[in-house]
Amino acid sequence: MELLDGQLVSKTIKEGLKLKVGQLIAEGKKVPHLAAVLVGDNGASETYVGAKVKACAEIGYKSTLLRLEEDISESRLLGIIEELNNDIDVDGILVQLPLPKHISDEKVINTIHPSKDVDGFHPVNVGKMVQGLPTFISATPHGILLLLEHYKIDTKGKHAVVVGRSNIVGRPMSILLSSNTPTGNCTVTICHSHTRNLPEICREADIIVAALGKPGFVKADMVKKGAVIIDVGITRVPDAAKKSGFALKGDVKFDEVAPHSSYITPVPGGVGPMTIAALMKNTFMACEERSGGSLI
């Protein structure tokens, strides 16, 4: 069993981007600028946005964090996004999800200009991703592909089982793994809460991507010997032994599944840091394109 060390790979990617930012500065060019929008005071969202802003600082990007009140109106939030769309200095916009119930995620995502949608959630970018056209690939699936690429994991012809069909993780992951690309060409089964015989389906998988948000859902008896295990889940579980009062748990029972696997991501330290690395790559791409590059 080999650990897929997202922390390490993410660090390598960020160091590469930092060198590129150094080159931009040396050439007197603009550095990438990410604007992050945080609505309300959800503890987990606060942590995720904080990590993204910190990554920007490490690499040398400019970042702006807009903290908005929980009770901000939807129209005011959409207005703020329009302002960011029109701000020529801003390359990428991310609105941390989930949003308060009175605000439509869909309207917010659709308001971000596709050229600044570094999370890759806008329907235009999703459509391009589905067609295999250059675009922003949503950060978590993109991060997973970067991890597979780094460890030279052969995906061609493999049976991948993706558990979870959300628009931000499961569904794009299933499309990317089935695409005709070096980290694709899998035969993919996508599972959800109505799937029957899920343990049997998982046992046939060469690659399992667990993205359902149910701690410890994937157990040893659901995993074929030598399978590659990608654990996307992050759930805060109360833990009195921790200073924070909670522990982060993945969707896979790591201790019992790891000995059956060929490769496995830990939680924390697997997919989480790769999501941030992918977001940073997308932000660089947005800046490059807006400065006259040719990627999108």
Contact track, ligand NDP, 112-151, x by CB under 6 A: ----------------------------x-----------
CB-side exposure of 146: number of CA atoms within 13 Å?
30
User: Helices (DSSP H) in the chain: which residue ranges?
Assistant: 6-26, 43-59, 74-86, 105-111, 123-130, 139-150, 170-178, 198-203, 254-257, 271-290
Binding segment for ligand NDP among 28-36, 71-79, 120-128, 164-172 (CB under 6 A)?
164-172
Instruction: Report 200-259 residues binding ligand NDP (CB under 6 A).
Output: 211-214, 232-235
Q: Which one, 206 or 231, has the nearer CB to ligand NDP? A: 231
Strands 159-163 and 187-191, bridge-based pairing: parallel
CB of 235 to ligand NDP, least distance (A): 5
> Which amino acid type is present at position 252?
V
Non-local CB neighbours of 256 within 8 Å, separated by 6+ positions: 219, 220
- Binding flag, residue 101, ligand NDP (CB under 6 A): no
Question: From the CB of 276, what's the least distance to ligand NDP, in Å?
Answer: 8
Q: How far is the CB of 26 from ligand NDP (least distance, A)?
A: 33
Which of 7, 42, 64, 195 lies at the binding interface for ligand NDP (CB under 6 A)? Answer: 195
CA distance 273 to 206: 24
> Of the two residues 13 and 80, which places its CB atom closer to ligand NDP in the complex?
13
Q: Which is nearer to ligand NDP, 59 or 80 (CB)?
A: 59
Q: Residue 41 is encoded by which pair of tokens?
A: 């005071």
